[in-house]
A = this chain, B = another copy of it.
Amino acid sequence: MDIHAYMQTLGQRARAASRAVARADTGLKNKALATIAAALRRDEAKLLAANAEDVATARANGLEPAMIDRLTLSTKTIATMAEGVEQVAALPDPVGEISDLKFRPSGIQVGKMRVPLGVIGIIYEARPNVTVDAAALCLKSGNACILRGGSEAIRSNRAIAACVQEGLAAAGLPADAVQVVDTTDRAAVGELITMREYVDVIVPRGGKGLIARLLAESRVPMIQHLDGNCHVYVDDKADPEKALKIVENAKTQRYGTCNTAESLLIARAIAPTLLPRLAAMLQGKGVEIRGCAETAALVPNTVPASDEDYATEFLAPIIAVKVVAGLDEAMDHIARYSSGHTEAIVTEDYTRALTFLREVDSASVMVNASTRFADGFEYGLGAEIGISTDKIHARGPVGLEGLTSQKWVVLGTGQVRA
């Protein structure tokens, strides 16, 4: 198989299909989505059979258990996938929305119209549910897409693609609006991320290693997500009970998510009374404390923290702790070590809250709330295709709106420029 030629063909087809998807009205797109959801439910047995083959091969190839977990479909996960598609159908259509339409002194009216990006390339691991989510979000936002999931899921993805195709056909939308890359050759990824002519944006969903590699090689703009090294700063004006609740939730509700807190900063003035309580709560849940010398003096069983610990996304029951002089040192520390994902301050001080909100340069900045809220559903986006730690285009949770752009529209009655 000539991968270059194959991917070029996919690209050309996606570009051609993108115009039809872009002009499809809300009713048609929702009809396609409803049909996809129904097909997924109806084809449950087929999906499970295809998936079982994928899982068997993956096991035989010694894929690690966590990856097998994410690859495996069940009656429940298929139902969740179908519901997810219906939820996307229920979201407001962002396409065509006109805002800020104002008259100018020349007599023209100028505004902005929200429009699809065009063709979106999505690169992800062997997680069949992402195939469904991504297809639904791209379709609703009026984009054509090329989906490249991990090769271990190829049979599952083919079965899902058949359901998606049924939906597109039912709505009279072009089959090429959603294309699943049907090769396990890794060269396909290299092609996808360099086809500037056919792909408008790449959304990678996967581990840090994958994204760092794509970033180095991509010639297409990327909505990227690197680490989630999130901080909670407990100010000396914090309400101790709120601090306990927020640190507990931010660190221990789930260890493996990108919005989990990895570092705790605490003001020197409150550390002697509050840090031992915070640490006891965390240690009581099995969390290892890696701290500075001041932390060690206040907390038994503190492991000395290295500089690297402060820069690490542990994704595990470990937290880096540092006693700081106050807000300024906390913000300096965050500026130095944060990955720009999510940071929270716990304080009752009005000015410090506003300063933190204004000056901390991360995708989500919070006052008196758990970092775990940094999520498309919690923010009201309805669904998310990823969380961007980049500053350009989309920042933080990316929903339908992040898959669109705005063009200028000018309404005139014959005006010309003077």
Contacts and interface: CB of A to CB of B under 8 A. Distances in A.
7 contacts: A110-B379, A242-B413, A372-B417, A379-B408, A395-B407, A396-B407, A396-B408
A108 B335 contact: no
Contacts of A413: 242, 368
Interface in A76-118: 96, 102, 104, 106, 108, 110, 113, 115, 117-118
A44 interface: no
A354 to B, nearest CB: 10
A23 B391 contact: no
Contacts of A115: 361
Nearest to A117: B391
Contact of A378 (B22, B104, B378): B104
A364 interface: yes
A177 to B, nearest CB: 16
Interface of A: 19, 22-23, 96, 102, 104, 106, 108, 110, 113, 115, 117-118, 200-201, 221, 239, 241-242, 245-246, 248-250, 253, 335, 344, 357-359, 361-370, 372-374, 378-380, 390-393, 395-397, 405-417
Q: How many copies does the complex hold?
A: 2
A150 to B, nearest CB: 26
A274 B396 CA distance: 52
A243 B395 CA distance: 43
A102 B22 contact: no
B412 A392 contact: no
A205 B386 CA distance: 32
A19 B408 contact: no
B363 A408 contact: yes
B19 A367 contact: no
B417 A367 contact: no
Most B Cβ at <10 Å: residue of A368, A378, A391: A391
Given A117-B392, A393-B393, A409 B368 contact: no
A110 B310 CA distance: 28
